[in-house]
Amino acid sequence: MNILQIKDLWFSYDTEEVLENINFEVEEGSLIAILGPNGAGKTTLLKIILGLLMPQKGEVKVFGKPPWELREERRLIGYVPQNLSPNRKMPIKVKSIVMMGKYRGLLKLSGLEDRQVARETLEMVGMEGTEEKLFNHLSGGQRQRVLIARALVSKPKLLILDEPETGLDPSFQEGFYRMLTRIKKKLGTTIIIVSHDVMAVSQVVTKIACINRKLFAHGRPEEVLSGENLECLYGRGAAYFGHGPTPHIVVKKHDG
């Protein structure tokens, strides 16, 4: 079954075309990476999937419904936004942020059980014992982990991450991708991750969608990551080598 279906999707900000004729679907239980250079429209695509933006043309279905018509199903989506920058002076504790992921609606307060789940989720991302700490006292990587915990705490059916590697310390980064695979297996969560890190991501995902305004390629990593597609994604001069089990990208030196 497809958790996400996108057909003939077009989106523009005023007169600037950002996404053109995008078509792809995401099967339940898969882990898909959306790759592309800066300004390719990846975040815009995620915002359409999340129901935050309305496309001018085309069809988008999440759990079989247009995202802006989702009601209860919204609770089945976990989201890790890119570059979240709340007011640094806001005195908010880590536990409050994780509990935010357990929000069920007006006046529906969380119980003790929820707090236990929040603690376990923090443990899962290696942030145990930080419940009482202020979010703004954490390092960039630690904050990112708390936001990942917030997205995971509701045990989502669909997890959407917008460049979650930003700010993560290298030691956690490797474990992070393994964690995503574990979540997918354990909870059957479908995961969509927007990423810059082609190499790391291509080792764990089931499929890759290469986007640069248009959808250049969509398929298994070994099918998609050809020199031709990488050139579309990262410009002329990018070459790809299947060098052992780890793919590499080499970018040719530019003149001047």
Partner 1 sequence: MQRALLAGILVGISASLLGSFIVVRKMSFIGAGIAHSSFAGVVIGFLVGMEPLLSALIFAAVVGLSIGLFSKKYRIEEESAVGVFFPFSMALGVLLLGFIKGYTPNVMGYLFGDILMVGKQEVALSILAFILTLIFFALFFREMVYSTFDEETCKVMGMKVNLVYYLFLFLTSFVIVVSIKIVGIILFSGLLVIPPLVSLFFSRDMKIYVILSAIVGLISTSFGLILSYYLNLPSGATIITFSFVLLVITALIKG
Using CB under 8 A, which of the segments 77-85, 119-127, 184-192, 221-229 binds partner 1? 77-85
- Alpha helix (H) ranges present in 70-188? 94-100, 112-124, 140-152, 170-187
**Piece of the chain touching partner 1 by CB under 8 A; list 22-30, 67-75, 173-181, 226-234:** 67-75
Q: Which stretch binds partner 1 (CB under 8 A): 1-9, 45-53, 180-188, 220-228?
A: 45-53
How many other β-carbons are positioned within 10 Å of the β-carbon of residue 9?
21
Give me the least distance between CB of 10 and partner 1, in Å please: 20
Name which of 91 and 129 has its Cβ closer to partner 1: 91
Q: Write b or e for each residue in 198-221: b if 16 or more Cβ atoms lie within 10 A of its Cβ, otherwise e.
A: bebbbebbbbbbbbbbbbbbbeeb
Burial class (CB in 10 A: 0-12, 13-18, 19+), 56: exposed
Out of 28, 66, 100, 155, the residue judged to bind partner 1 by CB under 8 A: 100
Question: Computed over its alpha carbons, how large is the radius of gyration of the chain?
Answer: 19
Show contacts with partner 1 in window 101-120 (CB under 8 A): 103, 105-107
* Position 199 contacts partner 1 (CB under 8 A): no
Q: How far is the CB of 126 from partner 1 (least distance, A)?
A: 21
Integer Cα distance of 152 and 176 in angstroms: 13
Kind and range of the H or E run holding 219: strand 214-219
98-106, 170-178, 184-192, 205-213 -> range binding partner 1 (CB under 8 A) = 98-106
Q: How far is the CB of 46 from partner 1 (least distance, A)?
A: 10
Which residue spans within 28-143 are E strands per DSSP?
31-35, 57-62, 77-80
Q: How far is the CB of 142 from partner 1 (least distance, A)?
A: 16
d(CA 206, CA 130): 33
Binding residues for partner 1, per CB under 8 A?
Answer: 50-52, 70-71, 74-75, 77, 79, 81, 84, 86-87, 89-93, 96-97, 100, 103, 105-107, 134, 150
